[in-house]
Amino acid sequence: MENAEIYVDDNFVGSAPSTLTLESGNHKVEVKAPGGAPWQRDLLVLDGSDVALKAILNQK
């Protein structure tokens, strides 16, 4: 979805698509876009891990 914004732990970190580097531990990842329902996941990042997420936002 165009103009989607990415938030990690309630902080804006960039626009989608994006590659992020997160510290190990628990994080809340949220993607928001005008006209779309927010997408959210709780994520546990392990040391040295790579995780790929694909957020699909449904129309409101």
For residue 12, the model assigns a pLDDT of: 98
Tell me the two tokens of residue 50. Answer: 């790579």
Q: Is 0.85 surpassed by the pTM of this model?
A: yes
Could you read off the pLDDT of 4-60 as tens digits, one per residue?
999 999 999 999 999 999 999 999 999 999 888 999 999 999 999 999 999 988 887
β-strand pairing of 11-15 with 25-32: unpaired
